Amino acid sequence: MSSTSYKLSKAYPKKRAFITGAGGGLGRVLSTELADNGWTIGIADISEAGLNETAAMIEKAGGKSIIYKLDVADSDRYATVAKEYLAATGGIDLLVNNAGVGDGGVFGEYAVENWKWIVGINQMGVIFGCHNFVPVMKQQKSGHIINIASAASFANLPSMSPYNVTKAAVVSLSETIYGELKGEGVGVSVVCPTFFKTNVMQHSRGNQAQKEAGQKMVDKSGIEPIEVAQKVLTEAGKKTFYIIHPFSAKVLFSVKRLFPTTVIKVIAMGYKSMVQKQAAKARK
């Protein structure tokens, strides 16, 4: 935990935040960072145990927590939770749509039911969060939304279509509402990090090899959640829209924008080579 004083805390003196996926990982660290600045935080997650742990950390840091057990894919429950939160706080200053799951699989082999599951959480969960809180922010003429996407939204690596598609949807939604809310006093940021050390793969439904490969990339990233959390809150305070981290992700983002076809061709060749090597290894 740091003693950073964030611009968001000065911009919104009532300090009211709502964060999904706060039972661990990035959501927990974002919560404790804001707690250190004295925020009241509605923390939502499917894990009661995780929420209780986060709540204790928030209180210890000097903040206030309001716990909500929530599956963000459940629109009715989300609407109820939003009403309860707004009744308790009188408004909202910061919405962080952070809840998400990591998964992958070759397209056509990844089950339709799994598609429904990941779209429900990664895509619809963000839509429901914005749907429930944007009208209040517009009425207030203030507030900021942070949507957690991923560098996968523009890198689009093969065998990761479920994750790529849902995170690209988060970027698209963010760009759209940024334009709609620009004149309403409401800010929007979308976060596109590469892999960092978090528990995003814990609920993976894809095949075991895919899950292990994803977890290996997470574990080898060398980037801690605290680094990402501090970057997110600092840049959001500056009203930065695209928060892309680390530097390698910024480079990839820029190259993809300048040479989109070249990038996807290089990725495709790399994937073909990997598949051929795996096939040759399997034959031995």
Where residue 76 sits, what CATH number does that domain have? Answer: 3.40.50.720
Domain that holds residue 228: 7-245
Per the rule left: phi > 0, alpha: psi between -120 and 50, beta: everything else, 247 is alpha
Alpha-carbon span 284 to 281, nearest angstrom: 5
Tell me phi and psi for residue 232, to 5 degrees: -60, -50
- On whether residue 266 sits in a domain, the answer given is no
- On whether residue 15 sits in a domain, the answer given is yes
Kindly report, residue by residue over 58-105, the tens digit of the pLDDT.
Answer: 999 999 999 999 999 999 999 999 999 999 999 999 999 999 999 989
Q: How many distinct structural domains can be found in the chain?
A: 1
- On whether residue 268 sits in a domain, the answer given is no
Q: Return the SS3 of 91.
A: coil
Is pLDDT at 135 greater than 60 in this prediction? Answer: yes
Is pLDDT at 131 greater than 90 in this prediction? Answer: yes
- On whether residue 117 sits in a domain, the answer given is yes
| 51 close to 23: Cβ distance less than 8 angstroms | yes
pTM for this predicted structure: 0.90
- On whether residue 265 sits in a domain, the answer given is no
| 218 close to 198: Cβ distance less than 8 angstroms | yes
- On whether residue 18 sits in a domain, the answer given is yes
- On whether residue 104 sits in a domain, the answer given is yes
Virtual torsion, Cα 249, 253, 259, 260, nearest 10 deg: 110
Unique residue bearing structure tokens 């940024």: 178
CA proximity to 244, closest of 165, 148, 117: 148
**pLDDT reported for residue 198:** 57
